[in-house]
Amino acid sequence: MRLELARTAGFCYGVRRAVHMAEEAAQSGRPCVMLGPIIHNQSVIAYLKDLGVGMVDTPEEVPEGAAVIIRSHGECRAVHEALSNRGLRVIDATCPNVSRIHQIVAQAEDEGRQVVIIGTPDHPEVKAIAGWCRHPVVAEGPSELEAWLTENPKNREKMLTLVAQTTSIQTIWESSAEKTKKECTNAKIFDTICKATYRRQSEAQELAARCDAMVVIGGRESSNTRRLAELCKALCPTVVWIERAAELEPSTLYRKASIGITAGASTPGWIIKEVYNKMSEENFEIEESFAEMLEKSIKTLNTGDKVTGVVTGITPTEIYVELGTKHTGYIPVSELTDDPTVKVEDLVKVGEEIETYVMRVNDQEGVVTLSKKRLDTVKSWDDIEQAREERTTVEGLVTEENKGGVVVNIKGVRVFVPASQTGLPREAAMSELVKKKVRLRITEVNRARKRVVGSIRAVEAEERAARAAEVWENIEAEKRYTGTVKSLTSYGAFVDIGGVDGMVHVSELSWSRIKHPSEVVSVGDTVEVYVISYDPEKKKISLGMKDRNQDPWAVFTGKYNIGDAANVRVVKLMTFGAFAEIVPGVDGLIHISQIADHRIDKPGDVLSEGQMVDVKITDIDYDNKKVSLSIRALLEDAQRTQSGEGGEDAVVASSDGEGTEVASDFDEA
């Protein structure tokens, strides 16, 4: 027969931490008691009692001067307050994942939210969580949650905070969370299931699905062990649940070709070893040595070690990591990254493996302080040196403006970029780069002095040269580009079309008459342009921006006829009259004799550039595309209308015979 052991069998890191803290308390020589069983395993409780750790049921029973150990399932707020009021020394062995739930529900209480807990109502962990709220609702699953929601329609409108018992079954939680999302209008949902528990259950199911029998080891009071047995029974025909090796009856496993074994989170390694020894006597073939497994669980850690663990919890201040040892590992957020702009949840996820560096080991408390940042820094120096040798481009965040340049953080390594290599114009402030991500080339590395120099400009120059080469290779007349306005002059605008600057002459910016390019575009604008002409030898490109498919004269003639009135803009004053824009790209002449109903010395006496005036179109020269306008004719029309006179003949007769002069002035203009 062949036996296959689940990788996560036995103590979870929260239970391991609690037991270790109790052992340390016993070894201190001071009197100490557990407030209730520290974990759900009678063998472990008996072992701790042999070490001198007593047990009481209420805070009032704690002897004077004794330290009190809070169990891994945690306690309610009232218990903590009672212990504090007595001035007792408290050793809080609450699982960090459970402590996080206490923080969540306490904050929800402060915000006036209704706390809903998915879990077993009589479980110590659930009772402790509920004890941090005044009016919690506990539901075992989606059906109980539905019953509470339908009990009072207003429940659906409440501000809810939904959490789960750490050992809840994932499918039950997901169904409950989905129902809450669907039916509640203002809910905050926190997935607080311990991912170590989820992995333990998943591995047990995988084993059960492919083995002929399963052995589940754990205390009868253990909720997570009961769930392991239930999950295995759904997939495997033979499941044996035992607390100790003495309960194992080998005959129940006869003729089973493969046997899987798993253990609850409260099962110590020595009990698993007991089971192993008994099964060895029955000639079972073990896939993984229990001795190896136990060695992993008690291995020591030293400062400077590189270790790999699994993220089990994330709080605003630290990340909890299961290392597979007797220690609880955590990473302070300050040791996760140097980038202040990123969120912790974007860098690490619960259930993911993470490689870290051991900063400090506290064997007394069973805690290891880890750093992702320091390990990354060591690796980053190797990457920096490699980038220098291979002339590769690297990316970093500008963290500060320094004397003569800026400092870029590249995976924890400070890189100095001189002002001349920032790529900024001389007059630009280097502070513009602070808190921005940049790409640069490493030009100098001195690891001994921890000095690294880089150049942003080198990367920009190479990239611009590559883009420019591509533009010149594919450029052709009428080709369209999306470009960026780089600078303005009195005669036009320079536009970057991808590594190459082309010029849009002021006359090509708009069909309207403009005096300066700034009337149409600004530096930094994104514009659509097309190629009018180009000279590869002189590296010059002439661009256009106004839409050539739009014929202004066609627009004008489609909208206006002789005799129509129009509201126009005066664009230029001459000695003989004023030019006015009728539609963009088409101007008409208002002769000086047609500006007013009385004689004037010069157009500027009545009109100013930019002024909007009403005119009458008196003539259209379709062959030469010229238009004559008259303010005077429009005024005279209005006077005739008021006096009862009118008729088109009267308007023509009142032209003073100066229409021929208008035509000659067009030619002069």
Longest Cα–Cα distance in the chain: 130
Cβ of 185: how many Cβ atoms within 10 Å? 9
Report the alpha-carbon distance of residue 106 to residue 129 in Å, rounded: 9
DSSP lists the bridge partners of residue 394 as: 440
The owner of tokens 């369209």 is: 480
Terminal CA-to-CA distance of the chain, rounded, Å?
108
DSSP 8-state class, residue 539: T
Helix (H), strand (E) counts: the chain: 18, 33
Would you call 208 helix, strand, or coil by DSSP? helix
Alpha helices (runs of H) in 515-569, residue ranges in sequence order:
552-559
Out of 4, 109, 125, 203, the active site residue is 125
Of 125, 96, 92, the residue nearest 21 (C-alpha): 92
Q: How many CB atoms are closer than 10 A to CB 602?
A: 14
- Relative to beta strand 393-402, strand 437-446 is antiparallel
Q: Of 184, 209, 225, give the one whose Cα is nearest residue 43.
A: 225
Cα separations in angstroms, 172 against 34, 119, 128, 319? 32, 9, 21, 26
Residue of 305, 310, 94 whose CA lies nearest to 202: 310
DSSP-assigned states of every residue in 400-424: EEETTEEEEEETTEEEEEEGGGS--
Return the bridge partners of 613, or none: 568
CA 81 to chain centre: 39
Cα–Cα–Cα angle for 188, 192, 197, rounded to 5 degrees: 155
**Where is 668: in which H helix or E strand?**
helix 659-668
Please say whether the beta carbons of 248 and 215 come within 8 A: yes
| Residues 362-385 as b or e (16 or more Cβ within 10 Å = b) | eeeebbbbbbbbbbbeeebbebbe
Task: Sort residue 657 into left (φ over 0), alpha (ψ -120 to 50) or beta.
Answer: left
The DSSP H or E segment spanning 44 is helix 42-50
> Is residue 243 annotated as part of the catalytic site, yes or no?
no
d(CA 533, CA 536): 10
Is residue 656 within 8 Å of 593, Cβ to Cβ? yes
What distance in Å separates the CA atoms of residue 545 and residue 489, rounded to the nearest whole number? 16
At 39, which helix (H) or strand (E)?
A: none
Residues with catalytic function: 125
